[in-house]
Amino acid sequence: MNKYIQEYQKIVSTVVKKSFPSLKNKKIRIIEYGILTGPYYFFTSGFEAYLFGTHLVGFNIKLRKLKDSKEEVLNALIAHELCHAEDHEKFKNDIEIIIHCIKYAISQISGKSYCRITERKTDIQTIKKGYGKELMTSSPH
């Protein structure tokens, strides 16, 4: 495990403890994705996916380059992804989650509203959890 993942893990457990009691005993696995070279561009800074009882939280490898406002950006991003995790806990079973993920992916590619509505709802939840100020300094999606 590299030091970045260790750092994310630390912040994730702090944010879970502080604001996400429902995720306290859930399995959360952290990964990095993307390529470090090339222009400083985020396709997405992070994602969360839930399948077979594990929440997978991914961080764009380019977040390693963050210097200013690093803490605020990471807090907001993690709170946003954990709001997805909390939402995904409400699905009845894996089939419902898979359908949701397919709908989300198709709408993202085709520019339909399903993913935008999901992201908007998630941002509102993030603000309600008290991460509004941090959210203004970053845009997870």
The footprint of Zn ion (CB under 5 A) covers 119, 122, 141
Determine whether 62 is exposed, middle or buried from the number of CB atoms within 10 Å of its CB (0-12, 13-18, 19+). buried
Q: How far is the CB of 126 from Zn ion (least distance, A)?
A: 9
Q: How far is the CB of 106 from Zn ion (least distance, A)?
A: 16
Contacts of residue 41, defined as CB under 8 A and 6 or more positions apart, other chains included, come to 62
Q: How far is the CB of 5 from Zn ion (least distance, A)?
A: 20
Q: Report the sign of the C-alpha dihedral through residues 21, 22, 26, 30, in that order.
A: negative
Q: Which is nearer to Zn ion, 3 or 72 (CB)?
A: 72
Q: How far is the CB of 83 from Zn ion (least distance, A)?
A: 8
Q: Which is nearer to Zn ion, 49 or 66 (CB)?
A: 49
Strands (E) located in 20-124? 27-33, 46-51, 54-60
Q: Which is nearer to Zn ion, 6 or 120 (CB)?
A: 120
Q: Which is nearer to Zn ion, 65 or 120 (CB)?
A: 120
Q: State the Cα–Cα distance between residues 118 and 120, nearest whole angstrom.
A: 6
DSSP letter for 130, please.
I
